[in-house]
């Protein structure tokens, strides 16, 4: 019988959750930067909260609720809360109306995400849920030598 252990091939493809990665909002004034853990199953706090949310949604659908725009909006709002609570660990360059830095907190992060234009949030959501953005440091560069992400 052959040994079918292919772990050595997968070694460089492990998503890292021990170091937050930067995401820069290049479409926003001042290009504020978030430091993030992945919104993937490798982030156990995010995964566990997401499972709870999915089970709750399944119960709603079993009761005969149809997918609606309101349900999609609710799902987006829940994503923003999960990202703020379990994925975003800090920020820099986020300023208030008085042009002074805003200290990072879950509440401030959630408000920031809530106020993003849809297309900016969708770009962020796509990035934070992409495991390729959270690989080993030597795997971060693509063939052109540019950092993955936005």
Separation of alpha carbons 144 and 39, rounded Å:
26
Secondary structure letter of residue 95 according to DSSP: B
Domain boundaries, the chain: 20-137
Residues listed for the chain: 150
Q: Is 25 exposed, middle or buried (0-12, 13-18, 19+ CB in 10 A)?
A: buried
1 band by pLDDT with thresholds 50, 70 and 90: low
| pTM greater than the 0.85 cutoff | no
> How many CB atoms are located within 10 Å of the residue 5 CB?
7
Looking at the chain, the number of H-run helices and the number of E-run strands are 5, 3
pLDDT in tens, 92-110: 999 999 999 999 999 999 9
Q: Are 90 and 35 in contact (CB under 8 A)?
A: yes
Give me the half-sphere count of Cα atoms (radius 13 Å) on the Cβ side of residue 12: 6
């Amino acid at each position: 019988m052959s040994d079918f252990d292919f772990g050595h091939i997968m070694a460089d493809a492990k998503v890292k959750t021990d170091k937050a990665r930067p995401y820069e909002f290049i479409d926003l004034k001042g290009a504020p930067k978030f430091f993030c853990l992945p919104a993937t199953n490798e982030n156990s706090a995010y995964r566990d909260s997401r499972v709870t949310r999915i089970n709750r949604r399944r119960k709603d659908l079993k009761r005969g609720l149809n997918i609606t725009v309101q349900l999609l909006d609710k799902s987006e709002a829940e994503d923003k809360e999960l990202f703020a609570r379990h994925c975003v660990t800090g920020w820099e360059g986020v300023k208030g109306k008085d042009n002074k830095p805003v200290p990072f907190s879950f509440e401030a992060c959630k408000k920031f995400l809530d106020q993003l234009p849809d297309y900016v949030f969708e770009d962020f959501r796509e990035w934070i849920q992409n495991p390729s953005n959270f690989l080993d440091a030597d795997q971060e560069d693509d063939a052109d030598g540019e950092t993955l992400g936005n």
